[in-house]
């Protein structure tokens, strides 16, 4: 029996509501795998930790995270902690920092054809879009030395080769997984990584391009590498998102911040977007990660059972795939979500929460996903 340790941090507001549904899904996965035990430990983070301990995350929780194989995270913050110092959100930053979770993954995927309407992009251009932005999350301009004067400000934007190298290994692993699951007619013989930089104007950008090129030549001959300037990448993503289909977009902290928000904007529905922050390379030994929805704690709808649990459930699927290499189970969870949301697939039943124009409660969506999943596993 293999034991996989998961630290569960539901957080504030809708966090615990959507987490409850993801954990039901985890139960179904566990029941289908007598050889695997998910050992769960639950703790607090964010505003609720400020209320109880005076800080957004305690040393004990950070140590538990280090001792876990993965962290499943809900959402944190809310108006009651406005002006708190440190902020609830800084708890998550500390957690990412402690685990050295350097690779932030944000999938851009239209899950269900009928959800193209949520996208601001023309349906014929956006339908079928699927790629993943892999953003370097622990270095670059956001972490460089800062200098502030009244009329002057600067941030040092430094990258070292080893930081680019380790991200490149993740980007390649992600591209391989995407290539393997793509319809055969839609991909070439090799997985593809698009690297976005500003090698035309930034020295750190030239290092990025050199280091990326070198490591792909040296270590990753099975994956095709394409370079693109980050600004033109931003335009292409919006104009022609399918150009990046079934590939990983490999990019630094600053450009990745922007490109991953653009990728979320392309989809248009906050309640559906999962994310992962990985501290290792998927498929190579232990790959710890923090898995969480892209959306915030949605205080305006919390406590009413109205939240959409899909982003949290899809974050769980990412955990199964990247930290635990349970590809079959991850794909089944995603398929179950699609079947529940797709009124064509499920006989016209409207099992959607209010943000998607439906009337279903958070728990009804979770229950429906579990029911379909049982049939798939």
Catalytic residues: 142, 198, 231, 257, 261
Asked if 307 is part of the footprint of ligand ATP (rule: CB under 6 A), the reply reads yes
Return the structure tokens found at 372.
């379909």
Residue list 218-277, contact with Mg ion (CB under 5 A): none
Q: How far is the CB of 265 from ligand ATP (least distance, A)?
A: 13
User: Residue 254: which H helix or E strand, with range?
Assistant: helix 253-267
In the bound state with Mg ion, the residue whose beta carbon lies nearer, of 274 and 366, is: 274
Residue 300 binding target from ligand ATP, Mg ion, none, CB below 5 to 8 Å by type: ligand ATP
Pick from 271, 274, 282, 366 the residue near ligand ATP by CB under 6 A.
Answer: 271
Return the structure tokens found at 41.
């430990």
Q: Which residue is nearest to ligand ATP (CB)?
A: 296
Residue 295 binding target from Mg ion, ligand ATP, none, CB below 5 to 8 Å by type: ligand ATP
In the bound state with ligand ATP, the residue whose beta carbon lies nearer, of 241 and 293, is: 293
How many Cα atoms within 13 Å fall on the side-chain side of residue 165? 8
Which listed range, 48-56, 154-162, 208-216, 293-301, lies at the site for ligand ATP (CB under 6 A)? Answer: 293-301
What CA–CA distance (Å, rounded) separates 235 from 243? 11
Site string for ligand ATP, 4-23 (x = CB under 6 A): ----------x---x-----
360: Cβ contacts below 8 Å, ≥ 6 apart: 350, 351, 352, 353, 368
In the bound state with ligand ATP, the residue whose beta carbon lies nearer, of 228 and 269, is: 269
Residue whose structure tokens are 């959507």:
18
Please, what's the b/e burial string for 239-262 (b: 16 or more CB within 10 A of its CB; e: otherwise)? eebbebbbbbbbbbbbbbbbbbeb
In the bound state with ligand ATP, the residue whose beta carbon lies nearer, of 158 and 270, is: 270
In the bound state with ligand ATP, the residue whose beta carbon lies nearer, of 300 and 350, is: 300
Dihedral angle, C-alpha 339, 342, 343, 345, nearest 10 °:
-50
Asked if 236 is part of the footprint of ligand ATP (rule: CB under 6 A), the reply reads no
In the bound state with Mg ion, the residue whose beta carbon lies nearer, of 13 and 250, is: 13
Q: What are phi and psi of 320, to 5 degrees?
A: -60, -40
Asked if 301 is part of the footprint of ligand ATP (rule: CB under 6 A), the reply reads yes
Please, what's the b/e burial string for 126-157 (b: 16 or more CB within 10 A of its CB; e: otherwise)? bbebbbbbbbbbbbbbeebeeeeeeeeeeeeb
Pick from 166, 246, 250, 295 the residue near ligand ATP by CB under 6 A.
Answer: 295
Asked if 297 is part of the footprint of ligand ATP (rule: CB under 6 A), the reply reads yes
Which of 51, 91, 142, 108 minimizes the C-alpha distance to 290? 91
Which of 266, 366, 259 minimizes the C-alpha distance to 316? 366
How many Cα atoms within 13 Å fall on the side-chain side of residue 259? 35
Residue list 277-306, contact with Mg ion (CB under 5 A): 296
| DSSP class of 56 | S
Asked if 111 is part of the footprint of ligand ATP (rule: CB under 6 A), the reply reads no
Asked if 267 is part of the footprint of ligand ATP (rule: CB under 6 A), the reply reads no
- Site of interaction with ligand ATP (CB under 6 A): 14, 18, 77, 270-271, 295-298, 300-301, 307-308, 311, 353, 355
- Site of interaction with Mg ion (CB under 5 A): 296
């Amino acid at each position: 029996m293999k034991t996989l340790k998961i630290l569960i941090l539901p957080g504030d507001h809708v966090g615990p509501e959507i987490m409850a549904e993801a954990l039901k899904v985890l139960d179904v996965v566990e029941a289908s795998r007598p050889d695997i035990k998910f050992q769960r430990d639950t703790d607090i983070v964010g505003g609720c930790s400020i209320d109880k301990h005076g800080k957004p995350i305690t040393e004990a929780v950070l140590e538990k995270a280090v001792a876990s194989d993965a962290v499943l995270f809900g959402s944190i913050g809310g108006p009651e902690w406005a002006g708190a110092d440190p902020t609830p959100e800084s708890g998550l930053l500390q957690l990412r920092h402690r685990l050295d979770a350097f690779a932030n993954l944000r999938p851009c995927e239209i899950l269900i054809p009928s959800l193209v309407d949520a996208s601001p992009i023309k349906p014929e251009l956006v339908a079928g879009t699927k790629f993943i932005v892999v953003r370097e999350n622990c270095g670059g301009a956001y972490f460089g030395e800062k200098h502030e004067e009244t009329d002057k400000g600067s941030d040092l934007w430094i990258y070292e080769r080893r930081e680019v190298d380790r991200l490149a290994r993740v980007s390649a692993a992600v591209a391989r997984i995407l290539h393997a699951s793509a319809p055969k007619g839609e991909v070439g013989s090799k997985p593809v990584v698009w690297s976005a930089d500003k090698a035309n104007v930034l020295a750190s950008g030239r290092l990025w391009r050199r280091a990326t090129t070198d490591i792909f030549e040296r270590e990753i001959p099975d994956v095709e590498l394409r370079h693109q300037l980050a600004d033109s990448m931003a335009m292409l993503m919006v104009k022609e998102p399918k150009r990046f289909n079934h590939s990983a977009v490999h990019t630094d902290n600053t450009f990745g911040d922007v490109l991953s928000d653009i990728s979320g904007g392309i989809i248009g529905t906050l309640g559906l977007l999962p994310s992962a922050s990985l501290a290792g390379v998927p498929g190579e030994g232990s790959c710890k990660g923090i898995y969480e929805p892209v959306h915030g704690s949605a205080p305006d709808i919390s406590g009413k059972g109205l939240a959409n649990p899909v982003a949290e459930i899809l974050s769980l699927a990412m955990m199964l795939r990247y930290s635990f290499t349970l590809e079959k189970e991850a794909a089944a969870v995603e398929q179950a979500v699609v079947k529940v949301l797709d009124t064509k697939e499920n006989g016209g039943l409207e099992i959607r929460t209010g943000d998607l124009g439906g009337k279903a409660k958070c728990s009804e969506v979770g229950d429906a996903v579990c029911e379909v999943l049982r049939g798939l596993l």
